Structure 1
Amino acid sequence: MSALAFPGLETPADQQTELEPLFRVLVHNDDVTPMDFVTRVLVSVFLLGYPEAAEIMLYAHRHGMSVVQILPKAEAEKRINKAHFAAGLEGYPLHFSMEPE
């Protein structure tokens, strides 16, 4: 027995949790939502620093979409919903989506 083994504390195989699958969160460019608003949403909802948020926003502006983050599915859905809610309050069509990693 190794020094790090603790008899009786093993987790049965049927109780081990699997990691939730990861998803890429994407931001899509549109012709209506102001760039500064997109950057603010990336900072406030996705908790990015301003320079990274601005870079992601500009990439989406130039290329049509950009990867924002890679997150577990539930967290990705939660943040996308928050971002859509914030955009809706301001009347902007800002759109986020997600795809499996």
Structure 2
Amino acid sequence: MPDPGIPIPARRGGRRRAARIIFMATQNPKKPPNPAAPPSVGSDDAVVLERRTQRTQPPQMFQVVLLNDDFTPMEFVVHVIQEYFSKDRETATQIMLKIHLEGKGICGVYSRDVASTKVDQVLQAARAAGHPLQCMSEPVE
């Protein structure tokens, strides 16, 4: 019989149902039945799952290229290469001479987003200084 201090819900079945619920709540749950036979190791019907490792390809790289023109001063080109591509003065001068002699020169190789940002920065600096310097990015072959 349930404790008189516990409220008994007024439902169909009344006191008997409440007593049964309390009785069930105080008992330990039954253990699940044991399988008929333990799984055999190395049996023909065993399933072996292999984990596949996904190989991602490295991102495509882009080279930032400065193009030669007859109006942008060489010193400004050297300054841009030093400022936006973190090159020392000697390396920047070599790149500038390559641009001047061959018509274009590679300033650096970056991922697509970084290359695009570098191009925008160079073009903005050239426009702010009033120079027609052209810069572009192209995929590395």
Which residue pairs with 2:89 in the alignment?
50
Return the structure number with greater helix share.
1
State the shift of 1:17 in Å.
5.6
Superposition TM-score, scaled by structure 1 size: 0.81
Distance 1:72 1:50 in 2: 24
Which residue pairs with 1:3 in the alignment?
none
Q: Is residue 22 from structure 1 mapped to residue 22 from structure 2 by the alignment?
A: no
CA deviation map 1:45-90 (0-9, x unaligned): 1111111111000111011111111111111110110010000001
| Higher Rg of the two aligned structures | 2
Return the structure number with greater strand share.
1
State the shift of 1:19 in Å.
2.7
Q: Is residue 40 from structure 1 mapped to residue 84 from structure 2 by the alignment?
A: no
| Letter matched to residue 109 of structure 2 | I
Q: Is the 8 A contact 2:81 2:87 kept in 1?
A: yes
State the shift of 1:41 in Å.
0.4
Q: Is residue 31 from structure 1 mapped to residue 70 from structure 2 by the alignment?
A: yes
Describe the SS at the equivalent of 1:81: helix
Describe the SS at the equivalent of 1:53: helix
Which of 107, 120, 127 aligns to 1:68? It is 107
Describe the SS at the equivalent of 1:75: helix
| Letter matched to residue 100 of structure 2 | H
CA-atom RMSD in angstroms? 1.8
Q: Which runs of 4+ in 1 moved over 3 A?
A: none
| Letter matched to residue 78 of structure 1 | T
Give ranges in structure 1 of 5+ residues lacking alignment: 1-11
Greater RCO, 1 or 2 (C-alpha within 8 Å, sep 6+): 1
Superposition TM-score, scaled by structure 2 size: 0.59
